[in-house]
Amino acid sequence: MDKIEFKGNAETQKLARWMANLLNQRGFSFGIESEVVLGQDELADYLLGQGEGQDRVSLIAWIEQAVADNAQLFSRRDADCGVEYVAAKRKLVELFRPARPTPPIRSAAARPAAPPAAKEKPAAPEPAEAAPPAGEPPVTQQYQLAILQALHKLGGAGKTADVVEMIPTLMTLPKEHLGTYARGTEGKSEQPKYVKFVQSARGFLIQQGELISPNRGIWELTPAGEERLHQAGLAG
């Protein structure tokens, strides 16, 4: 298989690389011949939560351009639940497979071994970073823990809407995350502001291997996520 390279301008390549990483994280437990799917709305919400754009229309246009420029990796299809972007797991594996190191070239004639270098004194250890002050964890960590706790209470897996609905009952939302924001092509529908931060935290949990999404709209706790909850004392 030819080496897959991202195409387009720098920003388009950045987005394509991000999409490929998300798809690869989502499909780590799937068979090599499977397809991995990412919904357009889900991706747009995730990017908005990452602060990648304020205008949903231009954001989706950017996504569409990245998919069109990188058709060797992604395909686009219309489904009942909306637009979906698809990648073959085999291509993702090839894309993220680490390069094999080049073996050293040995000369025909053996060279005498160089004398051992004088031992350097070990560098003094760097001072340990100061422990964070006691109290509530940072907001990003609070969202992540709240998602994991919600899934634990739902029996280990649940629908996106059910998890999102539970978040305000499991953490104190910052004042700036309250209220709603307009969404949709004409801003006709509204969504709670905190949902953007939930989607962002979900992306980090997937990258950390603490959450997976085996099917569209379903979030599932992994053993690593369960272990994190136990360490935080929130698995009861």
Question: Backbone dihedral region of 204: left (phi > 0), alpha (psi from -120 to 50 degrees) or beta?
Answer: alpha
What is the per-residue pLDDT for 200?
Answer: 82
pLDDT in tens, 47-56: 777 777 767 8
Check if the beta carbon of residue 194 is closer than 8 Å to that of residue 210.
no
| Cα–Cα distance measured from residue 63 to residue 88, given in angstroms and rounded to the nearest whole number | 18
pLDDT in tens, 196-211: 888 888 888 888 889 9
The domain at 10-96 falls in which architecture?
A: Orthogonal Bundle (1.10)
Taking the CA of residue 34 as centre, how many other CA atoms within 13 Å lie in the half-sphere pointing to its CB?
A: 13
Ranges for all domains in the chain classified under CATH 1.10.10.2260: 139-232
Strand partners, 75: 86
For residue 2, name the pLDDT band (cuts at 50, 70, 90). low
What is the per-residue pLDDT for 164?
Answer: 92
What is the per-residue pLDDT for 28?
Answer: 61
pTM: 0.46
pLDDT in tens, 57-115: 888 899 999 999 999 999 999 877 788 899 988 888 888 765 455 455 454 455 555 56
For residue 178, name the pLDDT band (cuts at 50, 70, 90). confident
What is the per-residue pLDDT for 108?
Answer: 47
Three-state secondary structure string covering the chain:
CCCCCCCCCHHHHHHHHHHHHHHHHHCCCCCCCCEEEEEHHHHHHHHHHCCCCCCHHHHHHHHHHHHHHCCCCCEEEEECCEEEEEEEHHHHHHHHCCCCCCCCCCCCCCCCCCCCCCCCCCCCCCCCCCCCCCCCCCHHHHHHHHHHHHHHHCCCEEEHHHHHHHHHHHCCCCHHHCCEEEECCCCCEEEECHHHHHHHHHHHHHHCCCEECCCCCEEEECHHHHHHHHHHCCCC
The domain at 139-232 falls in which architecture?
A: Orthogonal Bundle (1.10)
- Mean pLDDT across 118-145: 58
Q: Which amino acid is at 113?
A: A
| Cα–Cα distance measured from residue 6 to residue 151, given in angstroms and rounded to the nearest whole number | 35
Cα distances (angstroms) measured from residue 65 to each of 9, 22, 53, 140, 146: 10, 17, 15, 30, 34
What is the per-residue pLDDT for 127?
Answer: 39
What is the per-residue pLDDT for 27?
Answer: 66
For residue 219, name the pLDDT band (cuts at 50, 70, 90). very high
